Amino acid sequence: MEYRRLGRTNYKVSILTIGGFGPGVYPDAQAAIKAVENAISEGLNMIDIAPSYAEAEIRLGPLIKKYRDRLVVAEKTLERTYEGAWRELKTTLSRFGVNSLDIYQFHAVGSLEELNKIFSEKGAAKAFLEARDQGLIKFIGITVHADMRVALKALEMFDFDTILIPVYAAAMTMPRPENDFRPVLKVAMDRDIGVIAIKSIAKRRYVGEKRYTTWYEPFDTQEDIDMAVWYTLSQEPVATYAMAGDIRLWPMILSAGKRFKKLSLEEQSKVVEVFREKGAKPLFPENL
């Protein structure tokens, strides 16, 4: 497994990250725990998790405590107020039985209104800064899923250490300001911000039967997953890709990660064209 520097954090992280959503929602708790232990045994040393991921914190808390010295733990909160963020952080630390988290993130920020609330006098940012001063968290990050313009604005407002965004080939079948990750990656590169990618294997929004616990329809053959994961990991300065929200897809993603081959610009363009022919579309904006 390849490892990369996660921006200014200087953590050396595996190019694949354990995504907490899949293990949190999978019906079989023991199978979910086993999938995470297997990922750790394969060399993955970063986990991205949230209290909003169903049972994820409860199921995986003992594993995080057990492997704390080996894992870079990235947590996140949907709370936007000072009191709410403090309350949720303390609950998470208690569930994990640990003294600190490596990265704490504002989760799924979707609008300028949310950003303004976070950075208001009684906003969550104040709690994050206090927690960092007290050594409860080391680095501060943000995750933006739907609109890259919000991500760019956030990076103007605060000097984040990490950012988590969708970086996926299907977005480039119809680039729009909402889904074009390239300007965000440029800022991250210029300022040494660690980039965590999501949605790599997204094909489009579901059409018809929903076969996976991912909210989008994923690519689900080894060939397509190879192309998708290699495309994402070929974008600079992406450090790692958080695996999809269905643990049944993890074996193919792990295989792609272990065999990672950096794609040339020509090969990247070819992946986009192949996916376009297969009906791939950006997840945002919704009306595409």
Query: For the stretch 225-263, what's the b/e string if a residue is b when 16 or more beta carbons lie within 10 angstroms of its beta carbon?
Result: bbbbbbbbbbbebbbbbbbbbbbebbebbbebbeebeeb
Of 135, 244, 151, nearest to 195 by C-alpha is 151
φ, ψ of residue 257 in degrees (nearest 5): -65, -40
Annotation: CATH topology of 3-277: TIM Barrel (3.20.20)
- Maximum distance among all Cα pairs of the chain, rounded to whole angstroms: 52
Boundaries of every domain in the chain = 3-277
How far CA 220 is from CA of 29, 136, 201, 229, 244, in Å, comes to 23, 39, 8, 12, 11
Between helix 182-191 and helix 148-157 the angle, nearest 10°, is 20
> Residue 146: its pLDDT value, please?
97
> Residue 208: its pLDDT value, please?
87
> Residue 288: its pLDDT value, please?
78
For the chain, list residues with pLDDT below 50. Answer: none
* Residue 238, helix vs strand vs coil: strand
pTM for this predicted structure? 0.97
76-94: per-residue pLDDT in tens?
A: 999 999 999 999 999 999 9
Distance between CA 58 and CA 117 in Å, rounded? 29
Of 226, 216, 154, 228, nearest to 187 by C-alpha is 154
